[in-house]
Each structure stands twice: as C-alpha cells, then as structure tokens.
Amino acid sequence: MRSLLCTMLFLAAPALIAEPVLAETIFVSNEKDNQIAVVDGDSLQITNKINVGRRPRGITLSGDGTQLYVCAGDDNRVDVVDIASGKVIHSLPSGPDPELFVLSPDGNRLYVANEDDNMVTIIDIPSRKAIGNIQVGVEPEGMGISPDGKILVNTSETTNMAHFIDTEKRAVVGNVLVDSRPRVARFSDDGKHVWVSSEIGGTVSVIDAGTRKVVKKIRFEVTGVRREAIQAVGIQMTRDGKRAFVALGPANRIAEIDTESFEVKRYFLVGQRVWNLAFSPDEKRLYTTNGISNDLSVIDLERNKVIKSIAVGGAPWGVVVKP
Amino acid sequence: MRFWPLSRRRTDLSKTTGRRRLIATLPLAGLLLMAPAGAALAQDAAGQSILIGYLTRQEDPRTPASFLEPVATDEGLQGARLALADNNSTGMFLNQSYRLVEQILPQDGDIAAGLKALADEGVRFVVADLPGDALLAIADRPEARSMLLFNARAPDDALRNEQCRANILHTAASRRMLADALAQYLAWKKWTGWSLLTGRDPGDALYADAVRRAAKRFGGRIVAEKGWTFDTGNRRTDTGVTTIQSDIPLATQGPDYDVLVVADEAGNFGDYLDGRTWHPRPVAGTQGLTATAWSRVNEQWGGTQLQSRFEKLADRWMLPRDYAAWLAVRSVGEAAARTGGAGFDDLVAYLHSPDFELAGFKGEALSFRKWDGQMRQPILIAGPRMLVSVSPQEGFLHPVTPLDTLGDDAPESKCRFNR
C-alpha cells in the first residue's frame, strides 16, 4: 500500500507545489520510540525527533502554542517540551499511567486520565502541581472539555461510560452508558454535543450535552472489512461543525461524517491501525497516526485524497498541529 | 494490597466463610437488606444489588514444572474477585452493587449442598469453578433450574454437545477451540506434519481427540502418535534432569514431523520437551507454543491494565482459570449495566441475545453462542515468554464471524437445549 501511496504522491506532487506554502508543524508521539517526531507541514519531511519519557501517547499544545504537553505513561508524568529548543524543560505530576488528557480552554489546567487508577488528575500548570483528583470508572481514557471549560467528559474503557464532570465542583454529575471500550470524547464547538467513540462496539455515540442522552449512534460499514476490525478511536470536527472525521483503527480507514445527517460520506484508506488525527490550521488537510504501519497519513480534504504517508517512527499514537 | 502474605489470604477466606454462615442463618433478612458487605455497598442500598455465587472445592495447588511460574492457591477465585471490583466500580455510577458469595468447600465437600447454600442465600448467578462431572451434577439439581451457571473451568467438549444444559454458559474455552486455534496457526505456518504425544490423564486423551479433529478441519497430518509412559521426577531433584534427558529422545523418536503436539493438561511432562526432542522441531499444544484463553505474555488491546489490576489484587499473574472467572462475573455486570435494573429472567435473556457484547481485552467483542452457550473468543497462541499470534487466523472465513471457526459451529453442534 505504501508503494501505492508513493505513486499517488508523485502524481500529486506538482499540485502540492502550486499550493500556498504551509507553515504548520506536525508533532507525533511515537509510543515505542519514546520520541516526538517533528514534521514540517510544507516539505512533509521529518525535521527533528525529540526525546521524551517512556510510552508517550497523549499530546497537546499549550495555550500559547510554545510548548507541548506529552503523557509519558510508563514514567507516570507529563513532559513539557519547549518547541523552540526541542527539549523537555520540565515535567508535571500527572498521577500514575497518564494516557490522554485535555487542556482547559484558559490553558491553565490539564485534566489527565490515569488509566491504571480509575482516576482523573487535575494539574495546575502555572504552579506545576496536581491539585486534585476525581474518581471515575475502570480504565479512564478519553477526555473532552466543553468550550466554556465547565464540563469535562471522561470515558472509562471497562465501565463503558462517559462521565460528565463539573470542573468547579470536581465531581461526577452524570454518567452515560455507551458501547464497549469507549476511547475518545470530543465536544462539538458549539458545546451542544459530545461525540464518544467505542473501540470494541465499533460505533460513535453522539450525546446531547444538555440532556446527557445518546441522540444518535453512528455505525460504520466498509466493504471487504469485517465488522470486528472496525474500531472507532480518534475524532475531530471542523470548526464550522459540519464535518466530523473518525479513525477506525484496524479497519485502516478514516470515516468522514456529515454532522447534520450523521451519515458517513466517505472512507479514506490510510495506514494500519489508525489511532488519532489532527487538522491543519486551515482544515485543508488531515494528518493521521497509524500505529502498526509506523507512519503518518496526509489526507488532502479539498480533493478528498490521501496524498502521502510519512514514516515517522515506532508506533505513532497521538498527533497535534502547530500553526 | 500490593502484597498479600499467604497466611493473610487464608484468613480472608475464612472470614468470608464466616460471614456466609452468619448470613445463612438469616436468609430472608440477608435478602431484604441486600447484606451490605462494605461501605461502598451500604451507600447504594436503595439501588439494585446483585449476588454472584462462586462455587469450588479446595484442592492441592497445581505445581508448575517451571520455577518461573507462580504456584497459585487461589486460581479462578482471584479472577472473580477482580471482576467483582470492576463491576462495583461501574455499579457505583448506576446505583448497582455486586457481592460475591464465595462457597469454597473442602476437598471432599458436597457440591450439591454448596449449591443449595447459595440458593438459600438468594444467589441465582453462580460461577462454577468445577470439573465437568461436578458441574453436571449441580446443573441438574432442582435449585439450579432457577439459576444460571457459568462454567469457568471445564474444557470438556461433551459439555458443549451431548451433555449441554440450558442453564450453563461457558466462559472457559473448550478443548476444540484451543485445538482449532493452534491448528489454524500451524496451517498458516504450513507446519502440517504433526507428531502427537499424549499424557496419561483422562483430559489428555480428550485434548488429543480435539487435536485429531482439528487436524482434519484445518489440513494437519498426524504422522505419528505416542503415549507418554515415563515418570517425571520431582522438579527439584538433580537426577530428574538426567533421566529426562535420556527419556525424551526415546519418547519422541519416530518418523519426522514439523511440530510435536503435546497433550499434557496438568503439565506433568510437557515443559521438559523443548530442547530435548529426538528431532530438532518445535513443541506445541498444552506446552511450548500454547493455545490458551489467557497468558501473562499478552498485553495487547489494553491487556496491560487487566494484567496490572490483577497483579495488584492477587500478587501473582493471571492464569486462564482466573480469566474465565473474570469473564463470568463481568458478563453478569455487563448485562446488568445494559439492562438497568432488570430482573433475573431479563438478564439471562440479555446474556443470550446478540446485543450482549463483552470487552475482554482481546481486540473484539465477546458473546455467547446461542446453540451451546459457549463464549466465543479469540485464542492466544502464546510462547513461554512472548505472544506469538492470536487465532482465528486471517483467511479462515466464516459467514457470520471468524470467531466461530474455533470450536463447535452451529451446524456441527450436538447440543439440543434450544428445542
């Protein structure tokens, strides 16, 4: 498949050059290499690899965009990377085995899922201190936060729930059962819905954030791929709220969904076991991390084509794009 | 919690037994108050409370041939306890609470009486950590008619066929599932010539039957068959090693083959084979390249979390019997969470329905086959130190789910409880 993608790249190359220069930088956490691969969005070449703690998975940009926060699960901490120097400058106390986290909209708090400990840890970034934790279900994983920062949604993989947490009270205020092994929780930009992917269930539950009821369950079907291989993981939505993209794990596909009809519009064939995804700042591209084929797929969303796959390192997991 | 000395574990067991006796004297009160077993349960007293029985007999622990393996005195039970904790973590959010009623009988204890004691306490879901004959004996008791039993131990294929019972669900994998899983992998490797070496225990002969059947199904050829006739000494004696070194070449001499398939469920000799066989060929089956429902070598599909939770609780690693018991207790929890306060009959119907899906850390949903009550599940192909593969293998197709290429599929099942 990679050779196919390479061929496609050759065909697409002239078109790429014709496009305006993209200044974005893509950061990929490589779970097996204990590194962050840095990819230049213009040349689509790797420009650096940053050493971080062991088993890096969750990755996000700081509020001002100058730093990266990286969950180093096996080192029980969150590493803070200074993007300019490409170095870890300090670490934050995350509690045991952090896998995924979410930054509060004001950029001051990190909410971390402690997979081994049925807990969500709250980190105050300015003071670099853990300031509290919240008991949730078994194997907390996905973390989503409402645009106003008031409601945090955590998923627990074995409890099969989305836990709604009031960030001020630091308490669980609601629980919604979803399909097996929920992975990612993502609020829509208008704050009205929370999308939760279920890996084993192979579905995405759309939850009304007000009533906390599942209003739609999105199912996927890919010709030639058995149902069990369709495992929904990463979710991203465009800023206009019209399109959503869901990574389907070992189905090696990204599904594009019309958020009004909840219909799947198309599937993109990407690398093997696709975990997570991130838009370019202009939302013309989508980058996906493929954990088994060790590459990053680049999807051109204007032409709806996968234009390149970039070998980024061992077991790429998380991805974030800096404008 | 990190480290439980053996003595404390024993104390805990006796405490549980003591509590059970106390409750048994007040069966009605126990039922009405839902017998809070701890603070967490007490808080939920207004919600749904679900009792799950665990029925077993004490026995001498299995002594593994390898010193690297743990000697488990609480095999199975710890899996049930972990699943109970998992159920209660979920139940906390749903106002549901679970209690495990542990009936651990003495070695010669009366199983039927044990079942009755559970029934008297109001238990209707029972995890049976019992051999096949004992399981059948309780399944036909009058109390069992209004119960659901989980076979969390017996691999016997007859229990899924001629001797199947409508009130049993099997979370333990059957011998045929294991043999088919191995056969698919060997077929994928094109290691089709098998020499079959069978131990002296009755289970070994049944395992060998499953291997022969799997050979027919997946294109294996059994080029030689032998029975193990030697005595293996104590694992700590020096002379044992010398004897084994001369015995094993003799026992495995014969026509050439691709892989030596060993049927030794109790682990009496199988671990000694690798590196000592007449032909320089790999060992597979109950030892060596082992088809198993669970193994410490697996940390795929979030297995890291299950392994680590288990080790914190039990201070040893999780064995297949623990995993089967975990699946059983989690199945009840999953069904109860999904049906939200439903009664026993609805819970049982849900467990049997196609809507039931359990995430069992094997990369896809596990469910029960409607024709024989067997939980369909991927089977690990595990080496002694590494995970080698997982069956079903790519390319073995099935109209419904590739998982049903392992074990008895609907058309070949001899189970007739659905009629």
- Residue among A183, A179, A312, A309 at smallest CA distance from A252: A309
- A-chain CB neighbours of B358 within 8 Å are 180
The pLDDT of residue B62: 83
DSSP 3-state of A299? strand
pLDDT in tens, A81-115: 999 999 999 999 998 889 999 999 999 999 999 98
The pLDDT of residue B238: 57
pTM of the model: 0.85
State the amino acid at position B115 in one-letter form.
L
**Which residues between 207 and 236 in chain A have a beta carbon less than 8 angstroms from any beta carbon of chain B?**
226-228, 231
- A-chain CB neighbours of B334 within 8 Å are 160
State the amino acid at position B193 in one-letter form.
G
Among B2, B43, B44, B89, the strongest candidate for a mutation testing the A interface, having the largest count of A CBs within 10 A, is B89
Question: Does position B45 have pLDDT exceeding 60, yes or no?
Answer: no
Question: Does position A4 have pLDDT exceeding 60, yes or no?
Answer: no
State the amino acid at position A114 in one-letter form.
N
Is the CB of B253 inside 8 Å of chain A's CB atoms? Answer: no
**Which residues between 112 and 171 in chain B have a beta carbon less than 8 angstroms from any beta carbon of chain A?**
none
- B-chain CB neighbours of A171 within 8 Å are none
Is the CB of A113 inside 8 Å of chain B's CB atoms? Answer: no
* Chain A / chain B CB contacts < 8 angstroms: 65
Angle between helices B132-139 and B111-120 (to 10 degrees): 50
CB A50 within 8 A of CB A87: yes
Is the CB of A200 inside 8 Å of chain B's CB atoms? Answer: yes
Mean pLDDT, to the nearest integer, of B118-122?
A: 97
CA distance A172 to chain B (A): 9
Question: Does position B13 have pLDDT exceeding 50, yes or no?
Answer: no
Q: What proportions of chain A, in percent to the nearest 5, are helix, strand and coil?
A: 5, 55, 40
Asked if B338 and A177 come within 8 Å (Cβ–Cβ), the reply is yes
The pLDDT of residue B217: 96
Name the pairing type of β-strands B193-198 and B221-227.
parallel
How deeply is B189 buried, as exposed, middle or buried, from its count of CB atoms within 10 A (0-12, 13-18, 19+)? middle
> Concatenated DSSP letters for B265-312?
TT-SSGGGTTTT-SSS--EEESSSEEEES--TT--TTTHHHHHHHHHH
In the β-sheet with A77-82, what is the strand arrangement from edge to edge?
A56-61, A67-72, A77-82, A87-93
pLDDT in tens, A293-314: 999 999 999 999 999 999 999 9
As a whole number of angstroms, the distance between CA A118 and CA B71 comes to 29
Cβ-proximal residues to B241 (8 Å cutoff; 6+ apart), any chain: none
- A-chain CB neighbours of B363 within 8 Å are 200, 228, 231, 250
The pLDDT of residue B233: 62
Placement of tokens 């050759």 in the chain: A10
Chain A's closest residue to B378, CA to CA, is: A228
pLDDT in tens, B342-359: 899 999 999 999 999 999
Is the CB of B402 inside 8 Å of chain A's CB atoms? Answer: yes
Mean pLDDT, to the nearest integer, of A259-278?
A: 97
The pLDDT of residue A1: 46
The pLDDT of residue B334: 96
Confidence grade of residue A17 (pLDDT, cut at 50, 70, 90): very low
Q: Of residues B33 and B275, which shows the higher confidence score? A: B275
What percent of chain B is modeled with pLDDT above 90? 75
Question: Does position B207 have pLDDT exceeding 90, yes or no?
Answer: yes
pLDDT in tens, A137-167: 999 999 999 999 999 999 999 999 999 999 9
pLDDT in tens, B280-300: 999 999 999 999 999 999 998
Asked if B93 and A139 come within 8 Å (Cβ–Cβ), the reply is no
Mean pLDDT, to the nearest integer, of A161-187?
A: 96
Show the tokens assigned to A161: 């729930």
Q: What is the mean pLDDT of chain A?
A: 92
The pLDDT of residue B32: 34
pLDDT in tens, A43-64: 999 999 999 999 999 999 999 9
Dmax over Cα atoms in chain A, in whole Å? 55
The pLDDT of residue B239: 58
- Residue among B47, B41, B53, B35 at smallest CA distance from B329: B53
The pairs formed by A256-265 with CB atoms below 8 angstroms and a separation of 24 or more are: A257/A204, A257/A218, A259/A188, A262/A206, A262/A216, A262/A218, A264/A218, A264/A220, A264/A221
DSSP 3-state of B182? helix
CB B96 within 8 A of CB B50: yes
Is the CB of B309 inside 8 Å of chain A's CB atoms? Answer: yes
pLDDT in tens, A184-229: 999 999 999 999 999 999 999 999 999 999 999 999 999 989 888 9
What percent of chain A is modeled with pLDDT above 90? 89
User: Nearest CB to A138: which of B90, B308, B403?
Assistant: B90
Element (H, E) at B387: strand B387-391
